[in-house]
Protein backbone atom coordinates (compact mmCIF):
# COMPACT_ATOMS: atom_id res chain seq x y z
CA UNK A 1 0.00 0.00 0.00
CA UNK A 2 1.33 3.42 -0.88
CA UNK A 3 1.72 6.06 1.85
CA UNK A 4 -0.89 8.16 0.05
CA UNK A 5 -3.42 5.33 0.12
CA UNK A 6 -2.70 4.57 3.78
CA UNK A 7 -3.16 8.22 4.66
CA UNK A 8 -6.45 8.41 2.74
CA UNK A 9 -7.77 5.40 4.65
CA UNK A 10 -6.68 6.75 8.01
CA UNK A 11 -8.18 10.20 7.65
CA UNK A 12 -11.48 9.38 5.93
CA UNK A 13 -14.79 9.92 7.70
CA UNK A 14 -15.84 6.57 6.30
CA UNK A 15 -13.96 3.72 4.62
CA UNK A 16 -15.65 1.13 2.42
CA UNK A 17 -13.42 -1.72 1.42
CA UNK A 18 -13.33 -4.85 -0.70
CA UNK A 19 -10.23 -6.99 -0.25
CA UNK A 20 -9.26 -10.63 -0.59
CA UNK A 21 -6.92 -11.10 2.35
CA UNK A 22 -8.18 -11.22 5.94
CA UNK A 23 -5.08 -9.49 7.23
CA UNK A 24 -5.69 -6.59 4.86
CA UNK A 25 -9.24 -6.25 6.16
CA UNK A 26 -7.94 -6.31 9.70
CA UNK A 27 -5.35 -3.63 8.93
CA UNK A 28 -7.94 -1.34 7.37
CA UNK A 29 -10.30 -1.68 10.32
CA UNK A 30 -7.50 -0.95 12.75
CA UNK A 31 -6.29 2.01 10.72
CA UNK A 32 -9.78 3.48 10.67
CA UNK A 33 -12.54 2.16 12.95
CA UNK A 34 -15.08 3.82 10.67
CA UNK A 35 -14.49 1.08 8.10
CA UNK A 36 -16.82 -1.56 6.78
CA UNK A 37 -16.59 -4.23 4.11
CA UNK A 38 -18.59 -4.24 0.90
CA UNK A 39 -18.31 -8.00 0.65
CA UNK A 40 -21.76 -8.53 2.15
CA UNK A 41 -23.27 -7.18 -1.05
CA UNK A 42 -22.22 -10.34 -2.86
CA UNK A 43 -24.84 -13.09 -2.83
CA UNK A 44 -25.18 -16.41 -4.56
CA UNK A 45 -27.21 -16.06 -7.74
CA UNK A 46 -27.31 -12.29 -7.53
CA UNK A 47 -26.48 -10.58 -10.85
CA UNK A 48 -22.98 -9.20 -10.67
CA UNK A 49 -23.98 -5.91 -12.26
CA UNK A 50 -26.54 -5.42 -9.49
CA UNK A 51 -23.84 -6.07 -6.89
CA UNK A 52 -21.56 -3.52 -8.51
CA UNK A 53 -24.35 -0.94 -8.70
CA UNK A 54 -25.05 -1.45 -5.00
CA UNK A 55 -21.37 -1.02 -4.19
CA UNK A 56 -21.35 2.29 -6.03
CA UNK A 57 -24.48 3.37 -4.15
CA UNK A 58 -22.86 2.39 -0.85
CA UNK A 59 -19.84 4.50 -1.66
CA UNK A 60 -21.83 7.49 -2.88
CA UNK A 61 -24.41 7.63 -0.07
CA UNK A 62 -22.02 9.04 2.55
CA UNK A 63 -20.46 11.29 -0.08
CA UNK A 64 -23.88 12.86 -0.65
CA UNK A 65 -24.18 13.28 3.12
CA UNK A 66 -21.09 15.46 3.06
CA UNK A 67 -18.60 12.94 4.42
CA UNK A 68 -15.06 12.31 3.24
CA UNK A 69 -15.19 8.79 1.87
CA UNK A 70 -12.40 6.40 0.95
CA UNK A 71 -13.21 3.27 -1.06
CA UNK A 72 -10.38 0.75 -0.83
CA UNK A 73 -10.06 -2.18 -3.21
CA UNK A 74 -7.58 -5.04 -3.42
CA UNK A 75 -4.71 -4.40 -5.83
CA UNK A 76 -5.16 -1.33 -7.98
CA UNK A 77 -8.57 0.34 -7.54
CA UNK A 78 -8.84 0.88 -11.28
CA UNK A 79 -7.66 -2.52 -12.51
CA UNK A 80 -10.54 -4.99 -12.74
CA UNK A 81 -12.61 -2.89 -10.35
CA UNK A 82 -15.75 -1.73 -12.08
CA UNK A 83 -17.20 -0.03 -8.96
CA UNK A 84 -13.97 1.93 -8.51
CA UNK A 85 -14.29 3.63 -11.87
CA UNK A 86 -18.06 3.97 -11.74
CA UNK A 87 -18.13 5.53 -8.27
CA UNK A 88 -15.67 8.20 -9.35
CA UNK A 89 -17.50 8.86 -12.61
CA UNK A 90 -20.83 9.32 -10.87
CA UNK A 91 -19.43 11.35 -7.99
CA UNK A 92 -17.82 13.77 -10.41
CA UNK A 93 -21.03 13.85 -12.45
CA UNK A 94 -22.89 14.94 -9.34
CA UNK A 95 -20.37 17.70 -8.70
CA UNK A 96 -18.29 16.08 -5.98
CA UNK A 97 -14.50 16.01 -5.94
CA UNK A 98 -13.28 12.46 -6.49
CA UNK A 99 -9.84 11.04 -7.16
CA UNK A 100 -8.40 7.59 -7.74
CA UNK A 101 -5.05 6.93 -6.08
CA UNK A 102 -2.85 4.57 -8.09
CA UNK A 103 -1.67 1.39 -6.41
CA UNK A 104 0.21 -1.82 -7.07
CA UNK A 105 -1.56 -4.25 -9.39
CA UNK A 106 -0.73 -7.89 -10.10
CA UNK A 107 0.90 -6.71 -13.30
CA UNK A 108 3.34 -4.53 -11.38
CA UNK A 109 4.17 -7.44 -9.11
CA UNK A 110 4.79 -9.91 -11.91
CA UNK A 111 7.04 -7.47 -13.74
CA UNK A 112 9.19 -7.38 -10.61
CA UNK A 113 8.95 -11.04 -9.63
CA UNK A 114 9.38 -12.54 -13.10
CA UNK A 115 11.79 -9.97 -14.46
CA UNK A 116 9.64 -9.07 -17.43
CA UNK A 117 10.46 -5.73 -19.01
CA UNK A 118 7.66 -4.51 -21.29
CA UNK A 119 10.20 -2.36 -23.08
CA UNK A 120 12.19 -5.40 -24.13
CA UNK A 121 9.42 -7.71 -25.33
CA UNK A 122 6.30 -5.62 -25.73
CA UNK A 123 3.31 -6.50 -23.58
CA UNK A 124 -0.38 -7.11 -24.12
CA UNK A 125 -2.99 -8.36 -21.72
CA UNK A 126 -6.56 -9.58 -21.60
CA UNK A 127 -8.97 -10.86 -19.02
CA UNK A 128 -8.90 -14.63 -19.59
CA UNK A 129 -12.62 -15.13 -20.19
CA UNK A 130 -12.69 -12.13 -22.49
CA UNK A 131 -9.72 -13.59 -24.35
CA UNK A 132 -11.59 -16.82 -25.07
CA UNK A 133 -15.09 -15.49 -25.65
CA UNK A 134 -14.07 -12.67 -27.95
CA UNK A 135 -11.50 -14.73 -29.83
CA UNK A 136 -8.74 -12.28 -29.11
CA UNK A 137 -5.69 -12.74 -31.29
CA UNK A 138 -2.45 -12.87 -29.33
CA UNK A 139 0.81 -11.54 -30.73
CA UNK A 140 3.35 -14.35 -30.16
CA UNK A 141 6.24 -11.92 -30.53
CA UNK A 142 5.26 -10.02 -27.36
CA UNK A 143 4.68 -11.02 -23.75
CA UNK A 144 1.04 -11.87 -23.08
CA UNK A 145 -0.67 -11.57 -19.70
CA UNK A 146 -4.04 -13.25 -19.14
CA UNK A 147 -5.74 -12.05 -15.97
CA UNK A 148 -8.00 -14.21 -13.83
CA UNK A 149 -6.94 -17.48 -15.40
CA UNK A 150 -8.26 -19.37 -12.37
CA UNK A 151 -11.87 -18.33 -12.90
CA UNK A 152 -12.36 -18.64 -16.65
CA UNK A 153 -16.07 -18.60 -17.41
CA UNK A 154 -17.09 -18.20 -13.78
CA UNK A 155 -19.80 -15.70 -12.99
CA UNK A 156 -20.40 -16.88 -9.46
CA UNK A 157 -18.44 -18.25 -6.54
CA UNK A 158 -15.66 -20.70 -7.43
CA UNK A 159 -13.46 -22.87 -5.24
CA UNK A 160 -11.10 -24.23 -7.87
CA UNK A 161 -10.37 -23.66 -11.56
CA UNK A 162 -12.30 -25.78 -14.02
CA UNK A 163 -9.95 -27.88 -16.12
CA UNK A 164 -12.29 -27.86 -19.10
CA UNK A 165 -12.27 -24.07 -19.14
CA UNK A 166 -8.49 -23.93 -18.86
CA UNK A 167 -8.44 -26.30 -21.84
CA UNK A 168 -10.37 -23.69 -23.82
CA UNK A 169 -7.64 -21.17 -23.07
CA UNK A 170 -5.00 -23.66 -24.18
CA UNK A 171 -6.94 -24.33 -27.36
CA UNK A 172 -7.10 -20.62 -28.13
CA UNK A 173 -3.43 -20.05 -27.36
CA UNK A 174 -2.37 -23.10 -29.36
CA UNK A 175 -3.34 -21.29 -32.54
CA UNK A 176 -0.47 -18.86 -31.97
CA UNK A 177 1.97 -20.76 -29.75
CA UNK A 178 3.51 -24.26 -29.87
CA UNK A 179 1.70 -26.58 -27.44
CA UNK A 180 5.03 -27.19 -25.72
CA UNK A 181 5.68 -23.48 -25.22
CA UNK A 182 6.46 -22.70 -21.58
CA UNK A 183 3.89 -20.53 -19.81
CA UNK A 184 3.98 -19.18 -16.27
CA UNK A 185 1.19 -19.47 -13.72
CA UNK A 186 1.69 -16.59 -11.31
CA UNK A 187 0.15 -15.25 -8.13
CA UNK A 188 1.63 -12.24 -6.39
CA UNK A 189 2.38 -12.52 -2.69
CA UNK A 190 0.37 -10.10 -0.57
CA UNK A 191 2.93 -10.78 2.18
CA UNK A 192 6.27 -10.37 0.39
CA UNK A 193 8.23 -10.16 3.64
CA UNK A 194 7.32 -13.71 4.60
CA UNK A 195 5.94 -15.50 1.53
CA UNK A 196 7.20 -15.90 -2.01
CA UNK A 197 4.94 -15.40 -5.02
CA UNK A 198 3.45 -18.51 -6.58
CA UNK A 199 5.36 -19.22 -9.79
CA UNK A 200 4.77 -22.36 -11.83
CA UNK A 201 6.32 -22.88 -15.24
CA UNK A 202 4.58 -25.51 -17.37
CA UNK A 203 4.27 -26.39 -21.04
CA UNK A 204 1.13 -24.78 -22.47
CA UNK A 205 -0.52 -28.13 -23.17
CA UNK A 206 -0.22 -29.15 -19.51
CA UNK A 207 -1.97 -26.05 -18.15
CA UNK A 208 -5.36 -27.77 -17.55
CA UNK A 209 -3.68 -30.33 -15.30
CA UNK A 210 -1.46 -27.82 -13.50
CA UNK A 211 -1.96 -26.40 -10.02
CA UNK A 212 -3.63 -23.09 -10.83
CA UNK A 213 -4.60 -20.85 -7.88
CA UNK A 214 -7.94 -19.07 -8.17
CA UNK A 215 -6.23 -15.69 -8.11
CA UNK A 216 -3.59 -16.66 -10.66
CA UNK A 217 -2.46 -14.73 -13.70
CA UNK A 218 -1.03 -16.47 -16.75
CA UNK A 219 2.10 -15.11 -18.40
CA UNK A 220 2.92 -16.29 -21.91
CA UNK A 221 6.44 -15.27 -22.92
CA UNK A 222 7.11 -14.47 -26.56
CA UNK A 223 7.49 -17.49 -28.82
CA UNK A 224 9.58 -15.74 -31.43
CA UNK A 225 11.23 -12.43 -32.24
CA UNK A 226 9.32 -9.73 -34.09
CA UNK A 227 10.20 -9.03 -37.71
CA UNK A 228 11.83 -5.72 -38.37
CA UNK A 229 10.57 -3.47 -41.16
CA UNK A 230 13.88 -2.65 -42.84
CA UNK A 231 12.54 0.23 -44.89
CA UNK A 232 11.08 1.95 -41.86
CA UNK A 233 14.23 1.25 -39.88
CA UNK A 234 16.25 3.08 -42.50
CA UNK A 235 13.70 5.87 -42.72
CA UNK A 236 13.94 6.43 -38.96
CA UNK A 237 17.71 6.40 -39.10
CA UNK A 238 17.91 3.31 -36.89
CA UNK A 239 19.93 1.05 -39.17
Residue 78 is a binding residue for another protein (CB under 8 A): no
Closer to another protein by CB, 118 or 192: give it: 192
Closer to another protein by CB, 12 or 19: give it: 19
Residue 82 is a binding residue for another protein (CB under 8 A): yes
- Annotated active-site residue 52? The verdict is yes
Quote the least distance from Cβ 151 to another protein, whole Å.
5
Task: State the catalytic residue, choosing from 11, 36, 48, 137.
Answer: 48
- Annotated active-site residue 74? The verdict is yes
Q: Residue 79: which residues within 8 A CB-CB, separation 6 or more?
A: 105, 106, 107
If you compute the radius of gyration of the chain from its CA atoms, what whole number of angstroms results? 20
Hey, how many other C-beta atoms are within 10 angstroms of the C-beta on 30? 9
Quote the least distance from Cβ 148 to another protein, whole Å.
5
Q: How far apart are CA 128 and CA 22, in angstroms?
A: 26
- Sign of dihedral through CA atoms 197, 138, 179, 141? negative
Q: How far apart are CA 140 and CA 178, in angstroms?
A: 10
Q: Residue 178: which residues within 8 A CB-CB, separation 6 or more?
A: 204, 223
Q: How far apart are CA 115 and CA 101, in angstroms?
A: 25
Task: State the catalytic residue, choosing from 17, 74, 177, 186.
Answer: 74
Residue 129 is a binding residue for another protein (CB under 8 A): yes
Q: Which stretch binds another protein (CB under 8 A): 64-72, 76-84, 96-104, 175-183?
A: 76-84
Among 32, 105, 148, 217, binds another protein (CB under 8 A): 148
Strand, helix or coil for residue 112: helix
Closer to another protein by CB, 58 or 187: give it: 187
Hey, how many other C-beta atoms are within 10 angstroms of the C-beta on 239? 10
Quote the least distance from Cβ 130 to another protein, whole Å.
7
Total residues belonging to the chain? 239
Residues in 167-196 that interact with another protein by CB under 8 A: 187, 189-191, 193-196
- Annotated active-site residue 42? The verdict is no
Residues in 3-32 that interact with another protein by CB under 8 A: 18-23, 25-27, 30
Number of residues that bind another protein (CB under 8 A): 42
Q: How far apart are CA 134 and CA 17, in angstroms?
A: 31
Q: Residue 122: which residues within 8 A CB-CB, separation 6 or more?
A: 139, 141, 142, 143, 222, 226
Residue 213 is a binding residue for another protein (CB under 8 A): yes
Contact positions vs another protein (CB under 8 A):
18-23, 25-27, 30, 39, 42, 48, 52, 74, 80-82, 127, 129-130, 133, 148, 150-151, 154-155, 157-158, 187, 189-191, 193-198, 213-215
As annotated, the active-site residues are: 48, 52, 74
Amino acid sequence: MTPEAASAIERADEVLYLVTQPLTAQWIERANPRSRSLHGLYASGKPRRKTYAEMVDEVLAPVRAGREVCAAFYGHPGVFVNPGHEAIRRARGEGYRARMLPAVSALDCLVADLGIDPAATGLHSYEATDFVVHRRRPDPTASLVLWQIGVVGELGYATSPRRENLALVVDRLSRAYPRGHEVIVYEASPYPLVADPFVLRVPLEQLPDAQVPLLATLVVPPARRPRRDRALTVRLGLS
